[in-house]
Amino acid sequence: MKKLKQWVKTPTFSNVSASIAAIVMGLLFGLIILLVTNPSQALPGFVSILAGGITGGAQGLGDVLYTATPLILTGLSVGFAFKTGLFNIGASGQLVVGAYVAVLLGNLDLGLGGFHWVVAFLAAMVAGAIWAGIVGFLKAYLNVHEVISSIMLNYTGMHLVNLLITQTVYDKLRNQTQPVLQTANIPAMGLDKIFPDSSVNGGFFIAMIIVVIVHIILNKTVFGYELIACGHNPNASQYAGINAKRNVVMAMVIAGALAGAAGGMIYLAGAGKYIRVIDTLHSEGFMGIPIALLGLSNPIGVFFAALFIAYINIGGFYMQLYDFVPEVIEIIIAAIIYFSAFALIVKNIIARYQSKAEEKEKSKAEAAEISAEGGSQS
Amino acid sequence: MNTLYFLVQQTMFFSIPLLIVALGGMFSERSGVVNIALEGIMLIGAFASIFTINALQDYMSGQGLLLIAILVSMAAGMIFSLLHAYASINMKADQVISGTALNMFAPAFAIFVARTIQGSKDINFLNTFRIESVPLLGDIPVVGPLLFQNCYITTYIGLIILVISTIVLYRTKFGLRLRACGEHPQAADSVGINVYKMRYAGVLISGAFAGLGGLIFVVPTSTAFSADVSGYGFLALAVLIFGQWKPQRILWAAFFFGFMKTVSAAYSGIPGLKELDISSDIYKMIPYIATLVVLAVSSRNSQAPKAEGIPYDPGER
């Protein structure tokens, strides 16, 4: 209890409450929209959002994990960049570049047997890292704002990949990539037994391992410490002897590798997904932004935020039973990001409350002291 | 000659929306508020106005209907941009995050409303707005076919907006104050300018222009609106930066980008380019790569407004 009381006073508490407040407000906004469009079905529809994957039993829960896997990685990508004070809005481009390289290698018979998918997956990470490295380089050495250059590279990457697909692994009939070889698919690692009929695979375990690795890099290494220091105050870190420019590049490279990994994860899942040759950006990349915000850019937080977003997404799928359009979920997520932009206000309210509580405690303690002194005198 | 006329007319269809949206973005950014929500605002403007056309087209047609749609698109864009203004000015929120939220909200909202009301996400409309030839002006040799045939009144509205924007930004008290708020809001405040008000004005103008741009983009290029403006808002952002936040340069940037779009869509019909046989994706990439190059070269002495993206805090001097 005492520990809990102490925790309530930390900034982590006010951050977590800000995230939860944003989620609650976003969900309420969604409820209002449901009530406006179809009052009689609104409540059951809303309940099915909250019930998420549970409605579908084991298959539904498996689909939650499957949907969450790439989201965990793009969330980590955006969050990692946030920690270093960079806004990686380019996860979408990094993701598609990684996805293309994974599919390309997945189509080649490299004679690697069981390691085929490992090579394709790692290559996706390298491709994403290079793509984001351009952003880091431009930021560090030429002072180009990372948001603008990432937006440009999102579209450049999309068109480049479309061009390369039509030259290499093109399925002309369906206007998409050819399926990868069986050996290039990430094995299910037993998850298909727990969640039958769902598309979940071993990628989920890999994502979990990556969460732990990123957590260790950020919190237990000198390199991670330097990155976070640069995020707080680049000038002070430079003064303290940290190579801020190199760190900006490295942070983007790692963020890009994570987004590229997400791309590999989506198209090596063997779930019947192919890169389509259309002029549309991948939404998974943009989903990384709300996930990183809700997860406070903390790897563990990102993990749970991605699960939450995947959970209500699957809930949106089952909500169609009540004649609702699943886009409600995207509206709710957009509302959650919008309200999380208000985090400052929530934090201020909590901070005021915290300092008031502290004062109260202080005066209480003083009063107790005085009365104790009074007691000893008499 | 016919190819040339066709190219110029097509370039106009692509350039004018870019020009208008980028000019809108210019007002917002020069007042100190980064607006990456242009894409979402375009979408909402297009959605509201195309929906209006869809509802009214049985009763009226032609330029009158287009004029109503224009007003609707501007109003819708302004209302939607209020969300961005409130978050980034009053709530001191991160402007990029608030913009991202709007960009995600817009397509979801448009699809949701369209599907709830009419079952499918595509909103069809009859294009009764094309002008075959402007009376008198269309008969001028060379210039007539280039600028006054097979066109829309929106083209001329766009050019008028450019002229007015230039005058407002550089020749009026309002423009001077707006620019001051983007460069040094504390100094502006100290001489009695209401920074919040000016920034609201900037964002609202950008909302109106972006909404209008959405409509102008959709009308000549398709017959149905399916909750998508194909990244034009982001392309307009590139035009704005390529144009270094200055109206005249934005005009040239918009024409360059629009021309590249035209080439990517129609290169097989252009003698000379057809033989080269370069994939359309290359032409589509060029505007973005060109923007990156310009940024790389010019960012050391960037013309971007100094206080852009920083919430105004009166306590800070």
Q: What is the pLDDT of residues A274-329, one digit of tens each?
A: 888 888 888 888 889 889 988 888 999 999 999 999 999 998 888 888 888 888 99
- B237 contacts chain A (CB < 8 A): yes
- As a whole number of angstroms, the distance between CA B14 and CA B212 comes to 14
- Please list, in sequence order, all residues whose beta carbon lies within 8 angstroms of the beta carbon of residue A141, skipping any fewer than 6 positions away: A245
Nearest by CB to A341, from B98, B115, B302: name it: B98
Q: Which of B295, B301, B308, B313 to mutate to test the interface with A (most CBs of A within 10 A)?
A: B295
Contacts of B105 in chain A (CB under 8 A): 330-331, 334-335, 338
* Range scoring the smallest mean pLDDT among A170-179, A185-194, B300-309: B300-309
Contacts of B174-177 with CB under 8 Å at 24 or more apart are: B174/B201
Q: How far apart are the first and last CA of chain A?
A: 35
Per-residue confidence (pLDDT) for residue B168, from 0 to 100: 96
pLDDT at residue A375, rounded to an integer = 55
The Cα A11–Cα A157 span in angstroms is 39
**Contact residues, chain B, for A297 at CB < 8 Å:** none
Rounded to 5°, the CA angle A171-A175-A178 comes to 30
Note the pLDDT of residue A163: 93
Cβ-nearest to B105 among A153, A280, A331: A331
Q: Output the six-digit token pair for A180.
A: 């990868």
Within 8 A by CB and 6+ apart from B210, the residues are: B20, B21, B24, B25, B38, B41, B42, B45, B77, B81, B233, B236
Interface of A with B in 161-190 (CB under 8 A): 162-163, 166
Would you say residue A377 has pLDDT above 60? no
The span from the CA of A177 to the CA of A260, in Å, is: 17
List, in order, residues 6 or more apart from A345 with CB less than 8 Å away.
B91
Q: What is the dihedral of CA B89, B94, B96, B100, to 10 degrees?
A: -90
Which chain B residues touch A166 with a CB distance below 8 Å? 279, 281
A312 has a chain B CB within 8 A of its CB? no
Query: Is A286 part of the contact surface with chain B (CB cutoff 8 Å)?
Result: yes
Shortest Cα–Cα distance, B82 to chain A (Å): 13
Long-range contacts of B146-152 (CB under 8 A, 24+ apart): B146/B4, B146/B5, B146/B8, B146/B9, B147/B8, B147/B12, B149/B5, B149/B9, B150/B9, B151/B9, B151/B12, B152/B13, B152/B66, B152/B216, B152/B219, B152/B220
For the record, the structure tokens of A293 come out as 């915000």
CA distance A332 to chain B (A): 8
User: What is the DSSP secondary structure assignment for residue A179, as one 8-state letter?
Assistant: P
Q: Is the Cβ pair A155, B285 closer than 8 Å?
A: yes
The residues in A 208-227 lying below 8 A from B, measured between CB atoms, are none
Q: Which residue among A145, A159, A342 places its CB closest to the CB of B285? A: A159
From the CB of residue B106, how many other CB atoms can be counted at a distance below 10 Å?
27
Residues of A in contact with B94 (CB under 8 A): 341
Inter-CA distances, A47 with A19, A42, A341, Å: 21, 9, 26
CATH fold of the domain at A62-310: ABC transporter involved in vitamin B12 uptake, BtuC (1.10.3470)
The per-residue pLDDT for A300 is 94
Q: What is the pLDDT of residue B251?
A: 95
The better pLDDT of the pair B179, A189 is held by B179
Q: Which residue in the set B94, B284, B296 is minimally distant from A159, CB to CB?
A: B284
Residue A85 and residue A230 in contact, taking contact as beta carbons nearer than 8 Å:
yes
- β strands within chain B, DSSP E: 123-124, 131-133, 149-151, 224-225
Give yes or no for A29 touching B (CB within 8 A).
Answer: no
Residue contact B296–A333, C-beta within 8 A: no
- From CA A126, how far away is CA B36, in angstroms rounded? 29
Smallest Cβ–Cβ distance between A144 and the set B279, B285, B296 belongs to: B296
Q: Does B115 touch chain A (CB under 8 A)?
A: yes
Return the pLDDT at B317.
Answer: 57
Q: For chain B, which ranges sit under pLDDT 50?
A: none
pLDDT of residue B244: 87
CB contact under 8 A, B238 and A160: no
CB contact under 8 A, A279 and B231: yes
Name the average pLDDT for chain A: 88
User: Cα separation of A192 and A133, whole Å?
Assistant: 36
pLDDT digits (tens, 9 = 90+) for A362-375: 788 787 777 777 65
* Structure-token match 């209002």, residue found: A32
Partners of residue A342 in chain B, C-beta under 8 Å: 87, 91, 93
Q: When comparing pLDDT for A136 and B277, which is higher?
A: A136
The answer to whether residue A160 neighbours chain B at the CB level (below 8 Å) is yes
Residues of A whose CB is below 8 A from B230: 279
Q: Is the dihedral of CA A193, A195, A201, A203 positive or negative?
A: negative
B122–chain A Cβ distance below 8 A for any pair? no
pLDDT for A270: 80
- Predicted confidence band of residue A161 (pLDDT cuts 50, 70, 90): very high
Determine contact: B293 vs chain A, CB below 8 A. no
Q: Contacts of residue A343 in chain B, CB cutoff 8 Å?
A: 93
E strand or H helix that includes residue A230: helix A222-232
Length of chain A in terms of residues written? 378
Q: Do A156 and B107 touch (CB under 8 A)?
A: no
Predicted pLDDT at A19: 85
Long-range contacts at A194-197 (CB < 8 A, ≥ 24 apart): A194/A58, A194/A62, A195/A58, A195/A59, A195/A61, A195/A62, A195/A63, A195/A65, A196/A58, A196/A59, A196/A62, A197/A58, A197/A59, A197/A62
In total, the C-beta contacts within 8 angstroms joining chain A to chain B are: 135
The position carrying tokens 């990156």 is: B292
Which one of B116, B239, B260 would you mutate to disrupt binding with A, by most A Cβ within 10 Å of its Cβ? Answer: B116
A1 pLDDT band, cuts 50/70/90, is low
How many angstroms separate the CA atoms of B7 and B14, rounded? 11
pLDDT digits over A83-94, tens only?
Answer: 888 989 999 999
| Window from A137-141, A251-255, A348-352, B58-62 with minimum mean pLDDT | A348-352
Q: What is the mean pLDDT of residues A256-276?
A: 91
- Contact of B75 with chain A, judged by CB distance below 8 Å, is answered with no
Tokens of B102: 């709007």
Return the domain boundaries, chain B. 13-232
Residue A87 vs residues A90, A149, A151, A235, A247: alpha-carbon distances, Å? 9, 11, 11, 18, 14
Per-residue CA distances from B227 to B45, B210, B231 (Å) = 11, 15, 11
Band (A39; pLDDT cuts 50, 70, 90): confident
